[in-house]
Structure 1
Amino acid sequence: MKREAVTKALARRIGADADADARTVAQAFASTWQQIADPLEKVIGRRGVSVLLDRALHLAAKQHAWLLLPSDPAAEVGPLHGLIAALESQSVAEGTQASGLLFESFTELLDTLIGKSLTDRLLGAIWIAPTPASAKKDTYE
């Protein structure tokens, strides 16, 4: 279920454009990652999010060896910049598949750390397609 939701969410962000390129995939990954990292940093801190991303990268690299990025524990930005550059150097299909696996691994690790219920509350909306009703802005008169 989670894998399917992640795949669909990435496909929506990448778009149905036949001209989509690796940079589009990397941008979709980055924007999705930002939606994930922002609320999680409030719960487990920036370092906690970075450590989980490192572990998810390690797990995903079993299927996509190019995800084994050199790490710098002293770096404040973590592996994100290197990951985006690596995604930009892959094919659209490879980048999309690896991104999906990475997000899936990350959320499974998070499930283990803080529980599935809290993970779903924090990140569930990211994987769900917006409905026309939810896309409208509330107006207050």
Structure 2
Amino acid sequence: MDAALAPIIGNQGVVALYRRSLHLCTARHPQFAATCASVPASMDVLALGSVLVEQSDADALLFSEVMLTIFYELLTTLIGPSLTARLLRDVWGPSLSDTPSQEISP
């Protein structure tokens, strides 16, 4: 995400969105306060991964989903939904809902 967004909002802008996302994650989901406190304020993906592997699979998945959703929402309010979608298209990759459904023959 940093590589896709830094040319538009700068490295400091990406880090600011990341930090704000952490803050809002805790505000919206108080159960993540300890997790957010363990995550460095810099956008260090390896450090974030180290914190998440200490969580249960369900908690790590929920935290990641909430964090990315908040980050996406913040970015959308900053640069708009269309530009956000275009910039992050390659980052998200095809989602499960984008896979073609298989027809089941009777």
TM-score range normalised by the length of the shorter chain? 0.7 to 0.9
Aligned equivalent of 2:36: 67
Per-residue CA deviation, residues 36-63 of structure 1 (Å, 9 max, x unaligned), is 2211011111111011000001111231
Q: Which has the higher helix share?
A: 2
Which has the higher relative contact order, 1 or 2, with Cα contacts under 8 A spaced 6 or more apart?
A: 1
TM-score under structure 1 length normalisation: 0.57
Cα distance in 2 for residues equivalent to 1:51 and 1:57: 10
- Picking from 85, 88, 96, the partner of 1:123 is 88
Question: Are the aligned partners of 1:69 and 1:79 in contact in 2 as well (CA < 8 Å)?
Answer: no
> Secondary structure in 2 aligned to 1:103?
helix
Q: Does 1:99 align with 2:64?
A: yes
> Secondary structure in 2 aligned to 1:61?
helix
- What does residue range 1-16 of structure 1 map to in structure 2 within 5 Å? none
Cα distance in 2 for residues equivalent to 1:52 and 1:89: 24
Distance 1:71 1:96, change over 3 A: closer
Aligned CA-pair RMSD: 2.2
TM-score under structure 2 length normalisation: 0.74
How many aligned residue pairs are there? Answer: 92
Question: Are the aligned partners of 1:58 and 1:68 in contact in 2 as well (CA < 8 Å)?
Answer: no
Question: Are the aligned partners of 2:39 and 2:51 in contact in 1 as well (CA < 8 Å)?
Answer: no
Q: Does 1:54 align with 2:31?
A: no
Question: Are the aligned partners of 1:50 and 1:79 in contact in 2 as well (CA < 8 Å)?
Answer: yes
What are the ranges of 5 or more consecutive residues in structure 1 without an aligned counterpart?
Answer: 1-35, 73-77, 133-141
Per-residue CA deviation, residues 25-84 of structure 1 (Å, 9 max, x unaligned), is xxxxxxxxxxx2211011111111011000001111231112124756xxxxx1424322
Per-residue CA deviation, residues 76-129 of structure 1 (Å, 9 max, x unaligned), is xx1424322211211111001000000000000000111111001111341533
Aligned equivalent of 2:104: none
Q: Percent identity?
A: 36
What are the ranges of 5 or more consecutive residues in structure 2 without an aligned counterpart?
Answer: 101-106
Moved over 6 A (4+): none
